[in-house]
Amino acid sequence: MSGPEATGEDPALARALEATMDGVAVLEEGIYQYVNRPHAELYGYGDPADLVGRSWRGLYEDAERERLESDALPQVRETGSWRGEAVGRRRDGSTFRQELSLTRTGGDRLVCAVRDITDRKGRRDSLELYETILTNIHDGVYTLDPDGQITWVNDVAVRKFGIGYSREELVGAPVTMLLDEEDIETSLGLIEDLVANDPEGSRRCEVEIRTAYGDTIPCDLHLALLPGEDGEFAGTLGVIRDITDRKRREQRLSVLNRVLRHNLRNDLNVVLMRLEGLVEEYGIDDSRVDVVREKGRRLVEFGDTARALDRRLEQLEGDATTRNVTGLVRKQCEAVRETYPGATVEFDAPGNCPARADEMVDLAVENLLENAVTHGWGADGDADVANDPKDRTVSVRVEPDGRETVVRIADDGPGIPDAELEALSGQERALRHTSGLGLWVAKWCVEWNDGQLTIDSPDQGGTVATVRLPSAQTRM
């Protein structure tokens, strides 16, 4: 029986049992006497009558049935009830996680309530997995509520960074305890940009974390928005990495860079002046002097180029925004046509190819185009820049490619020496190095924007430079 008479209760109670979303059944000596429709449907039966008169044991695998008989049922006999989780088996043989409640009533009857918790269990397992990952990764991770209060922080942010605060002291504290006003303003600007333009994306900046001891730790910070209901701002997620060692290296390289460039230019100019003095004083007429003079001149020009590029990079804005790559590449093509009117620059692109990028991408495209138009490379790998290249064709194309925006720049020149390609691809060997800066600058600028630069010299000749940037819709 599956109707009110099976429960031994009044019809109103039976109707309530039928209306509940949980599966409810009444058993006697392990046999179903009453089954409501949700209970039958949980196990894959369309009609509750299909279960009435059958044993509950047929709805569980052998191991699970033995567990319930050895753990759950003895507790029911002793205390009158048991509650826990189990794995049920549906009519088609599939299984599902369930929350199971067993209660003994008068007359040795057993009331069984079942709820499917497959989705809830899956979400809980996922959350536990994510928390395990976030707790054990090497970066510091934290979350803030909409008011800027710290709601969670992993152990790495406390233990590895050595900031002098415990997790208990950090959770519930305002983030202003760790960041100064300038870094707060920078972070708020990035968060406002995310909310307005890119809720699924992330932003990056550098901040200094103030420790409890009064000193600071330079950090790279990645910010993202926490998911909220109906698009509401629910707070932020931050991933921080200690960049103290990187900052020290940058400082040392900066000092070395300035000293070497200064000495290189000054000392080489002295060498060239003395060389000309010796040539004039002793009337030297030797082709070897011309080689020394030319190599010295090129080294001076190389130092000037390095200094000019350094100034240019310092002037660039480093904040990524959504930009139309078609427009910025078209602008660079027009500039190259004006500088090298003898060259042919073909441009093909759709009207709009958006990507998140800063001004460094402009510098990357500028250098790649100039290398292509001037053919950029002589037989010995030295730069071979001409003021007015003749009969040189460069084809430029911008196009979307799945989750990326791609810029391809192809020329009909002699190709790039293998040593240059090996160095740019990370295969540089001792005593082998690139002689120009343009491709390196392009590579650095593209990678700074989470992109990729590849350069190929096809068998048929020429060079193809390919820049891949994450599109504005997929940038993380």
Identity of the highest mean pLDDT range in 2-16, 129-143, 228-242, 377-391: 228-242
- CA dist list (Å): 450 to 310, 313, 315, 355: 21, 17, 20, 11
Residue 122 falls inside a structural domain: no
Residue 125 falls inside a structural domain: no
Residues 325 and 402 in one domain: yes
Residue 101 falls inside a structural domain: yes
Q: What confidence tens digit (pLDDT) does each residue in 201-219 have? A: 889 999 999 999 989 999 9
Which pair of tokens denotes residue 348? 């093909």
Residue 128 falls inside a structural domain: no
If one counts the domains in the chain, the total is 4
Identity of the highest mean pLDDT range in 226-235, 327-336, 358-367, 452-461: 327-336
Higher pLDDT, 130 or 45: 45
Question: Which pLDDT score is estimated for 195?
Answer: 92
pLDDT bin (cut points 50, 70, 90) of residue 11 is: low
Residues 336 and 463 in one domain: yes
pLDDT bin (cut points 50, 70, 90) of residue 382 is: very low
The CATH number assigned to the domain holding 417 equals 3.30.565.10
Residues 309 and 403 in one domain: no
Question: Which pLDDT score is estimated for 434?
Answer: 46
Residue 131 falls inside a structural domain: no
Question: Which pLDDT score is estimated for 464?
Answer: 93
Residues 146 and 230 in one domain: yes
Question: Which pLDDT score is estimated for 429?
Answer: 46
Res. 275: pLDDT tops 50: yes
- Residue 81's domain comprises 4-117
Please state which of the ranges 70-74, 154-158, 309-313, 445-449 shows the lowest mean pLDDT: 309-313
Residues 28 and 148 in one domain: no
pLDDT bin (cut points 50, 70, 90) of residue 447 is: confident
- CA dist list (Å): 113 to 23, 27, 64, 86, 101: 6, 11, 17, 12, 5
State the Rg of the chain over Cα: 36
Residue 130 falls inside a structural domain: no
Question: Which pLDDT score is estimated for 127?
Answer: 55
257 close to 310: Cβ distance less than 8 angstroms: yes
Residues 234 and 295 in one domain: no
Residues 394 and 476 in one domain: yes
Residues 149 and 263 in one domain: no
Say which residues have a Cβ less than 8 Å from residue 406's Cβ, sequence separation at least 6.
Answer: 398, 399, 400, 466, 467, 468, 469
Q: What is the mean pLDDT of residues 253-269?
A: 73
Q: Which of 227, 242, 257 is the last residue of a domain?
A: 242
Q: Which of 59, 84, 117 is the last residue of a domain?
A: 117
The residue assigned the tokens 């990729």 is: 452
Res. 303: pLDDT tops 80: no
Q: What's the rounded Cα separation, in Å, for the pair 325 and 323?
A: 6
Residues 360 and 434 in one domain: yes
Residue 164 falls inside a structural domain: yes
Q: What confidence tens digit (pLDDT) does each residue in 80-110 have? A: 999 999 999 999 999 998 999 999 887 678 9
- CA dist list (Å): 424 to 110, 249, 443: 74, 21, 8
Question: Which pLDDT score is estimated for 377?
Answer: 38
Question: Which pLDDT score is estimated for 421?
Answer: 67
Higher pLDDT, 136 or 40: 40
Q: What is the mean pLDDT of residues 462-469?
A: 93
Q: What is the mean pLDDT of residues 262-290?
A: 86
pLDDT bin (cut points 50, 70, 90) of residue 459 is: confident
Q: What confidence tens digit (pLDDT) does each residue in 121-161 have? A: 656 655 555 555 555 567 888 999 999 999 988 888 888 78
Residues 423 and 459 in one domain: yes
Res. 20: pLDDT tops 90: no
Res. 3: pLDDT tops 80: no
Q: What is the mean pLDDT of residues 284-308?
A: 81
Q: What confidence tens digit (pLDDT) does each residue in 104-122 have? A: 887 678 999 999 888 776 5
Question: Which pLDDT score is estimated for 387?
Answer: 43
| Angle at alpha carbon of residue 349, lines to 348 and 355, rounded to 5° | 145
pLDDT bin (cut points 50, 70, 90) of residue 383 is: very low
Question: Which pLDDT score is estimated for 432?
Answer: 41
Q: What's the rounded Cα separation, in Å, for the pair 152 and 172?
A: 8
Strands in 271-338 per DSSP E: 321-324
Res. 388: pLDDT tops 80: no
Q: What's the rounded Cα separation, in Å, for the pair 153 and 158?
A: 8
Res. 247: pLDDT tops 60: yes
> Does residue 292 sit in helix, strand or coil?
helix
Residue 279 falls inside a structural domain: yes
The pTM for the full model equals 0.46
The CATH number assigned to the domain holding 222 equals 3.30.450.20
Question: Which pLDDT score is estimated for 471?
Answer: 86
Q: Which of 300, 315, 330 is the last residue of a domain?
A: 315
Residues 373 and 360 in one domain: yes
Question: Which pLDDT score is estimated for 371?
Answer: 85
Q: Crossing angle, helix 244-282 and helix 287-315, to 10 degrees?
A: 150
Give the whole-number percent of the chain exceeding pLDDT 90. 39
Residues 81 and 194 in one domain: no
Question: Which pLDDT score is estimated for 182?
Answer: 94
Mean pLDDT, the chain, whole residue set: 82
Question: Which pLDDT score is estimated for 370?
Answer: 87
